[in-house]
Amino acid sequence: MGVARRAGVGAGIVLLAVALASVGAVTAAPSGATLTVGLDQEPPTLDPEASPSAVTFQIIPDVTESLLYQGLDGKILPWLASAYKISADGKSFTFTLRPDAKFTDGTPVNAEAVKWNFDRVVNPNYKAGGSLSALSGYAGSTVVDDHTVRVDFKAPFAPFLSYAAGGTLALVSPKATQAQGNEVNLKPVGSGQYVVSEYVPKDHITLTRNADYNRKAPWSDHQGPANLNTIIWKFIPEAGTRVTTVESGETQMISGLSLPSATLSHIATERTLRIDRNPYPGAPRIWVLNVRMAPTNDLKVRQAINYGINRAAITDSVFKGLGTTACAPLTQQTLKTPALCNAYPYDPKKAAQLLDEDGWKMGPNNVRQKDGKPLTLTINSINYGSGNLPEIELLQGQLLALGIDARIKSQARPPWYEDNYHCATNGPVLFLRSTDPDGLFALFDSANIGGNFNWACYSNPELDKMLQAGRETYDPAKRSAIYRQIEKLLVDQAITVPLVDEYSVWVVRSNVTGTKYNFSGYPILTDVKIGK
């Protein structure tokens, strides 16, 4: 009996220890000086010029600065450059730099630093990320004087202004970067309102206020340093855990990425939380149809799919609160094309008629067939570890209603890419974030078949010419007209099934004010205040 009692006491001690330890661990209430933000994943690198990932650019606007700034309204404003001039031939951009800008290591943001950064991106020994396509056709930079730099391109490159305002071409200190080696991936040295003071891999990044910042950022309501002392970016991959942290106050803001729409509806009812939504620029979530493989090599089949997919149903179910129904290969935020929204209204009868005309007659098991061959296709579906994306399963169901037997090839990212490069399925569902309509160049220029990202495997010399013209045209009206023409061609040819124009979604505690967002939909936190 004595032993039994002791064992019982032992178990009791363990439980007591757990209980006692928990007493000291009461979650801290939101502090006026620190903002903790929950992110869905860790960035692959914080070096803006090396990163291919959006995660980097959600964190970096508080740390590094670009030559120009593009706000939510799309207007290009001065930032590190106080002015810019475009040469008559459209190939050269001359930037006048602010004389008072300094990197946080004390070195000046001068013409030499701009040249060093851009040369670094195109250096074949450097593994550049999204920055490389932002400098397509870069011919070199010239230091005109200490505060004037000329950036030359081989051909006119109109999207450069928007790209120079984006995170991919944010500037890092040449001196610090050369000295720190690979450390630049963790603690890049910029000229912004915060410095990366701590990086704990797989856990968090701490940004500390740069007290010496004495300028007024283009979005800011004040001159001088940021409001909060510290911003902590915490990596919380599990969506449920992330939501719990913002509900309990352990974090004050979280990324809404991969949150189920039902969770979002629930959050919308909570008084202590608010949801910040901003449309993403670029290409919407879109099903790209491979025009080289049967049956999507057939225009009538592609058109039938466009008529037969109920996009509104997809938006209202899995994307409720996360986006609006897409119309074209660019989001409406990037280029308004209301006419294209009515190009393929949901009309299953019309879809059936097109398939009938094309010889695809309804066969056994509700699958159409032609010459004894069933109408089947394969959707390339990326699987991040938690199964198929819900929109792909909805697509499959809707296609079956049309008599099309859609198979889902569910696979991890590497083989998913590989199949896209080889045009090996009837196409993937993807999205592309781009601040300029020139994003269509990556998606549809024939040079990008077998690479990133012409996965429709569509080659059309006329389209290539138009895409190049879009790059070379500066007049905004003419430029828009070119991209409208491009979009019309793509829609007429039914190269894609546009699904959802997505929002950048952030869940924020109500007492947190002053959150701002740039044109990419990424948060800027320098003006944030935390109330009671």
Partner 1 sequence: MIRYISARLLATVPVVFGVTIAVFSMLYLIPGDPVKMMLSEFQTSPEQIARMRAQLHLNDPFFVQYGRFVWNGLHGNLGTSIRDNRPVTQEIFEVFPQTVQLAVAALVLASALGLALGILAALRQNSWLDIGSMMVATLGISMPSFWLALILILIFSLHFELLPAAGGGDLPHLIMPAVALGLGAAAIIARLTRSSMLDILRTEFVTTARAKGLRGRTVVLRHALHNALIPTITIFGLQFATLLTGTVFIETVFGRPGLGRLVVEAILNKDFPLVQGSVLIFALAYVVVNLVVDIVYAVVDPRIRYQ
Side-chain-facing half-sphere of 430: CA atoms under 13 Å: 24
Which residue in the set 23, 271, 461, 476 belongs to the binding site for partner 1 (CB under 8 A)? 23
First to last CA, the chain: 56
CB of 36 to partner 1, least distance (A): 9
Strands (E), 420-495: 429-433
The answer to whether residues 288 and 496 touch, using CB atoms and an 8 Å cutoff, is yes
How are the residues of the chain apportioned to helix, strand and coil, as percentages rounded to the nearest 5?
Answer: 35, 25, 40
Using the contact rule CB under 8 A, the part of the chain among 2-10, 321-329, 334-342, 506-514 near partner 1 is 2-10
Give the pairing type, strands 253-255 and 34-39.
parallel
Which residue in the set 53, 317, 376, 410 belongs to the binding site for partner 1 (CB under 8 A)? 53
Give residues 356-385 in contact with partner 1 (rule: CB under 8 A): 384-385
Please tell me whether residue 338 binds partner 1 under the rule CB under 8 A. no
Which residue in the set 22, 73, 269, 364 belongs to the binding site for partner 1 (CB under 8 A)? 22
Please tell me whether residue 52 binds partner 1 under the rule CB under 8 A. yes
Give residues 256-295 in contact with partner 1 (rule: CB under 8 A): none
Give residues 229-258 in contact with partner 1 (rule: CB under 8 A): 234-238, 240-242, 244-245, 247-251
Give residues 431-490 in contact with partner 1 (rule: CB under 8 A): 451-452
CB of 235 to partner 1, least distance (A): 6
| Local structure of 179: helix, strand or coil | helix
Tell me whether residue 238 or residue 475 sits nearer to partner 1 (CB atom).
238
The answer to whether residues 319 and 391 touch, using CB atoms and an 8 Å cutoff, is yes
User: Side by side, which strands form the sheet with 368-370?
Assistant: 361-362, 368-370, 373-374
Maximum CA extent, the chain: 97
Give residues 199-218 in contact with partner 1 (rule: CB under 8 A): 200-204
Number of residues that bind partner 1 (CB under 8 A): 66
Binding mask 381-420 for partner 1 (x = CB under 8 A): ---xx--------------------------xxxx-xx--
Strands (E), 4-80: 34-39, 68-70, 76-78
| Local structure of 23: helix, strand or coil | helix
Give residues 418-437 in contact with partner 1 (rule: CB under 8 A): 418, 421
Tell me whether residue 452 or residue 468 sits nearer to partner 1 (CB atom).
452
Tell me whether residue 374 or residue 415 sits nearer to partner 1 (CB atom).
415
Tell me whether residue 438 or residue 487 sits nearer to partner 1 (CB atom).
438
Which residue in the set 31, 37, 60, 127 belongs to the binding site for partner 1 (CB under 8 A)? 127
Using the contact rule CB under 8 A, the part of the chain among 122-130, 144-152, 307-315, 400-408 near partner 1 is 122-130
User: What is the DSSP secondary-structure string of 208-269?
Assistant: EE-TT--S--TT-SSSSS-S-SEEEEEE---HHHHHHHHHHTSSSEEE-TT--HHHHHHHHT
The answer to whether residues 389 and 396 touch, using CB atoms and an 8 Å cutoff, is no
Tell me whether residue 382 or residue 491 sits nearer to partner 1 (CB atom).
382
Using the contact rule CB under 8 A, the part of the chain among 21-29, 267-275, 356-364, 427-435 near partner 1 is 21-29
CB of 486 to partner 1, least distance (A): 21
Please tell me whether residue 123 binds partner 1 under the rule CB under 8 A. no
> 166: Cβ–Cβ under 8 A, 6 or more apart, which residues?
57, 66, 70, 134, 435, 520
Bridge partners (DSSP) of residue 523 are 517
Alpha carbon distance 147, 515 (integer Å) = 32
Which residue in the set 34, 41, 263, 317 belongs to the binding site for partner 1 (CB under 8 A)? 41
The answer to whether residues 51 and 43 touch, using CB atoms and an 8 Å cutoff, is yes
The encoded tokens of residue 236 equal 């919380």
Angle at the Cα of 92 from the Cα atoms of 86 and 98, rounded to 5 degrees: 65
CB of 34 to partner 1, least distance (A): 14
Alpha carbon distance 32, 259 (integer Å) = 27
CB of 42 to partner 1, least distance (A): 7
**Given the rule CB under 8 A, which residues bind partner 1?**
1-4, 6-8, 10-11, 13-14, 18, 21-27, 38, 41-42, 44-45, 52-53, 124, 127-129, 132-133, 182, 185-186, 200-204, 234-238, 240-242, 244-245, 247-251, 384-385, 412-415, 417-418, 421, 451-452
